[in-house]
Amino acid sequence: MSQTCPFCQQENSCAASSGDCWCFRLSVPPAMLALLPAELRDRDCICQACISAYQAAPEDFAARFHPR
């Protein structure tokens, strides 16, 4: 896994390889994952900032990051 969020391309601060990461305690909404092209799903962690942005305003987030 890379350390880059597939949405914002910023550092995702994932530590999954260590066995304990913040991402283990969050659930990414299925509708958010659906915004990613299939080939990018389940490859890299989405960063906390993007998850929070999606949860606060799903429509705005989708408009900003919808696949082209």
- Report pLDDT digits (tens) over 38-66: 888 888 889 999 999 999 999 999 999 87
Task: State residue 16's pLDDT score.
Answer: 78
Q: Provide mean pLDDT across the span 24-36.
A: 89
Q: Provide mean pLDDT across the span 22-31.
A: 86
Single pTM value for the model = 0.82
pLDDT band, very low/low/confident/very high, at 1 (cuts 50, 70, 90): low
- Token duo for residue 32: 């958010």
- Write the DSSP assignment of 1-68 as a string of letters: --SB-TTT-SB----GGGT--GGGG----HHHHTTS-GGGTTTSPPPHHHHHHHHH-HHHHHHHH---
- Token duo for residue 34: 């659906």
